[in-house]
Amino acid sequence: MRDVAVVGVGLHKWGELWDKSLRDVFVEPALAAIDNAGVDHIDSMVVGCMSGGLFAGQEHLGSLLADYLGQAGIPASRVESACASGGLAFRTAFMEVASGMSDIVLAGGVEKMTDVSGDGATYALATAADQEYEVFNGATFPGLYALMAVAHMHKYGTTRDMLTAVAVKNHNNGSMNPYAQYPFKTTKQEVEESVMVASPLRIMDCSPITDGGAAVILTTVDIAKKLKKPIIKVIGSGHATDSIALHSREDMTTLRATTLAAERAFKMAGKTIKDIEFAEVHDCFTIAEIVVTESLGIFPAGKGGEAALRGETGLDGKFPINTSGGLKSKGHPVGATGIGQIIELVKQLSGVAENGRQLKKTPKIGLAQNMGGSGGSTLVHILEVI
Amino acid sequence: MFPARAHREYPHRYRLEAGQCKKCGKVVFPRRLICPVCGHREFGKVILPDTGKLVSYSVIRVAPSQFTDEAPYAIGIAELTNGVKLMAQVADCDVDNIKVGMDIRIEFRRIQTDGHHGVLSYGYKFVPKWY
């Protein structure tokens, strides 16, 4: 395998982008990534999108988006793994460069979610769960994570305070992110008085519906050196699956696919969780961040909530989580989320995160965890400055 | 919902039919073609027990379109007496008094009304055992 580096990133503000279509939402950040990398061409591209079909009535995205990016003719594909589609696009592009098939590959993600009603969006998102045995019976995504939350609270004594701490912390971080959909701070009272969606989860425990795109350029370390770019190397990539139906899993207080994907990424990188300085994780709901930090091995099982409450995951904590604001504050355009996480890693590792959210001691190594559905798929990537 | 799509689930939803691996005894619901534990491909038919305990629950207050008239309603995951877990609505109870560990029984109920013609879909729900 060849050594692979990220040499360019592109992001535009996420939110309810009424004036922009699916293709605009993708092409703007993709052009920004190409400009940022300073490359004169791309050999290929991979785009993560969960459901162009249900959200915008548009499939065949590889060709459409390559054309509107001015790249008609190149090999282009769309990959899907529900909310982990962006992470999967990154891994696919990584494998393409590492294998020697292509030298310069764009990995992007996009979701245009506000061209359908709230009901329509709920329906489209629910297709990531088991249609016949969860959704048929009235499950929603907040409902599935609520089932995890209640089980976690029952087994470990996780409390409302701990969920709240995650939301308050992520909004604090996101308030410093100019690309965030909801760049405002929130309070314990606001979170705990917000409307109930699926008990015990309130609206301020949930990530929002978002239009957004993101893109990065991957190439070999050798080409990156010629481009005179700081070398941010992809040292680990792990991918794993699990039953998509929550009730089919042995233990719903942990995320097995996350643990497996992390083990694979650590093995490739020759690192352990102790070597990682910060992480972007998939906080689609506050409980998800707590369970993910446990499943990655950052905290022991059942201790993720206490750690969040003690501030250990804050910007000044011993293991900062979601310095970008996470899905909660930055927004969750499902197909783009995994690429957005990689961009935050690149910014922190380059020491250029905006508005005071840059970690005081510029980190050397970071991890991104992106998952689909209620944890039925997970991608973990580890990036290091060399 | 297309009739064939509903019809093929009737053995599970109407009669709680599950598969039991002929080699290792694992009970799978719904049926599968290969055992997730031992990889064996022959299954016998068993009927799931109709009692168990709730292992988690949530009260849905923001419902998807086909369930908006029913909100708030509860969903739960129950572990049946043979160890199989499944998800269903928790019916016939005060949604504010559901607890983990509660004994439940499975009953045959109407689940949703589908599409422009209002086709009825039936299946299973949990009810408190004392009901």
pLDDT bucket at A321, cuts 50 / 70 / 90: very high
Which DSSP string do the residues of B54-87 spell out, in sequence order?
EEEEEEESS--GGGGGG-SEEEEEEEETTS-EEE
Option in A132, A154, A245 nearest B100 (CB): A154
ipTM over 0.85: yes
Among candidate residues A83, A152, A284, A381, the one labeled active-site is A83
Going by C-alpha positions, the residue among A385, A373, A377, A365 that lies closest to residue A124 is A373
Q: Which residues, 6+ apart, have CB-to-CB distance to B116 below 8 Å? A: none
What per-residue confidence (pLDDT) applies to A15?
98
Give the neighbor-by-neighbor strand order of the sheet with B27-28: B27-28, B17-21, B43-47
- The span from the CA of A46 to the CA of A86, in Å, is 9
Give the count of Cβ contacts less than 8 A between chain A and B: 96
Q: Taking residues A200-212, report their average pLDDT.
A: 98
What per-residue confidence (pLDDT) applies to A122?
87
| A4-117+209-226 CATH, one of 3.20.19.10, 3.40.47.10, 2.140.10.10, 3.40.50.2300 | 3.40.47.10
Going by C-alpha positions, the residue among A359, A249, A329 that lies closest to residue A295 is A249
Domain that holds residue B116: 49-131
CB distance B58–A199 less than 8 Å? yes
Q: Give yes or no: residues B57 and B111 share one domain.
A: yes
Q: What is the pLDDT of residues B40-76, one digit of tens each?
A: 999 999 999 999 999 999 999 999 888 988 999 999 9
Q: Judge whether B91 and B129 are in contact, CB under 8 Å.
A: no
Which stretch of A55-69, A113-127, A191-205, A303-317 has the lowest confidence by average pLDDT?
A: A113-127
Quote the mean pLDDT of chain A. 97
What per-residue confidence (pLDDT) applies to B79?
98
Q: Residue A66: pLDDT above 70?
A: yes
Helix (H, G, I), strand (E, B) or coil at B98: coil
Option in B75, B85, B86 nearest A138 (CB): B75
Q: Which residues, 6+ apart, have CB-to-CB distance to A122 below 8 Å? A: A140, A141, B62, B64, B65
Q: Residue A211: pLDDT above 90?
A: yes
Q: Taking residues A183-206, report their average pLDDT.
A: 98
Q: Distance, in angstroms, between A322 CA and closest chain B CA?
A: 27
Q: Give yes or no: residues B123 and B82 share one domain.
A: yes
Q: Give yes or no: residues B131 and B91 share one domain.
A: yes
Q: Give yes or no: residues B40 and B54 share one domain.
A: no
- The span from the CA of B72 to the CA of A40, in Å, is 56
Option in B56, B60, B77 nearest A138 (CB): B60
Q: What is the pLDDT of residues A155-169, one digit of tens each?
A: 999 999 999 999 999
Q: Hey, what are B71's tokens?
A: 């909100």
The CA-to-CA distance between both ends of chain B, in Å, stands at: 32
Q: What is the pLDDT of residues A34-53, one digit of tens each?
A: 999 999 999 999 999 999 99
Q: Taking residues A223-252, report their average pLDDT.
A: 96
Q: Give yes or no: residues B87 and B38 share one domain.
A: no
Q: Give yes or no: residues B57 and B110 share one domain.
A: yes
Q: Give yes or no: residues B65 and B112 share one domain.
A: yes
CB distance A196–B121 less than 8 Å? no
Residue A332 appears among annotated catalytic residues: yes
Q: Judge whether A105 and A74 are in contact, CB under 8 Å.
A: no
Q: List chain B residues with CB under 8 Å of A122.
A: 62, 64-65
Q: Give yes or no: residues B20 and B31 share one domain.
A: yes
CB distance A246–B55 less than 8 Å? no
Q: Judge whether A219 and A5 are in contact, CB under 8 Å.
A: yes
Q: Give yes or no: residues B40 and B57 share one domain.
A: no
CA–chain centroid gap for A356, Å, is 22
Chain A interface includes B88 (CB < 8 A): yes
Angle at B21 between CA B15 and CA B27, to 5 degrees: 50
CB distance A247–B89 less than 8 Å? no
Which DSSP string do the residues of A40-52 spell out, in sequence order?
S--SEEEEE-S-H
Query: How, if at all, do strands A44-48 and A104-111 pair?
Result: parallel
- The DSSP element (H or E) to which A295 belongs, if any, is helix A286-295
Q: Give yes or no: residues B72 and B123 share one domain.
A: yes
Q: What is the pLDDT of residues A277-308, one digit of tens each?
A: 999 999 999 999 999 999 999 999 999 999 99
CB distance A143–B58 less than 8 Å? yes
CB distance A201–B58 less than 8 Å? yes
Angle at A62 between CA A60 and CA A67, to 5 degrees: 105
- The number of distinct structural domains making up chain B is 2
What per-residue confidence (pLDDT) applies to A56?
95
Q: Residue A266: pLDDT above 90?
A: yes
What per-residue confidence (pLDDT) applies to B129?
85
Q: Judge whether A139 and A126 are in contact, CB under 8 Å.
A: yes
Q: List chain B residues with CB under 8 Å of A132.
A: 9, 30
Chain A interface includes B111 (CB < 8 A): yes
Domain positions in chain A are: 4-117+209-226, 138-201+235-385
- The span from the CA of B85 to the CA of A248, in Å, is 7
- The span from the CA of B29 to the CA of A318, in Å, is 44
Q: Residue B131: pLDDT above 60?
A: no
Q: Give yes or no: residues B61 and B123 share one domain.
A: yes
Tell which B residues from 12 to 31 touch A, by Cβ distance under 8 Å.
30
Q: Taking residues A138-154, report their average pLDDT.
A: 97
Q: Give yes or no: residues B107 and B85 share one domain.
A: yes
Residue B69 sits in a domain of what CATH number?
Answer: 2.40.50
The yes/no answer on whether domain A138-201+235-385 falls in CATH 3.40.50.300 is no
CB distance B87–A148 less than 8 Å? no
Chain A interface includes B7 (CB < 8 A): no
CB distance A139–B87 less than 8 Å? yes
Whose tokens are 């993560």? That residue is A48
Residue A49 appears among annotated catalytic residues: no
Q: In chain A, pLDDT over 70 holds for what percent of residues?
A: 100
CB distance A247–B121 less than 8 Å? no
Q: Taking residues A253-260, report their average pLDDT.
A: 98
Q: List chain B residues with CB under 8 Å of A126.
A: 64
Query: How, if at all, do strands B43-47 and B85-90 pair?
Result: unpaired
Residues of chain A contacting B, Cβ within 8 Å: 119, 122-123, 126, 132-140, 142-143, 146-151, 154, 195-201, 245-248, 252
Q: Helix-strand-coil percent breakdown of chain B, rounded to 5?
A: 15, 45, 40
DSSP state of A141: H
Option in B63, B76, B100 nearest A140 (CB): B63
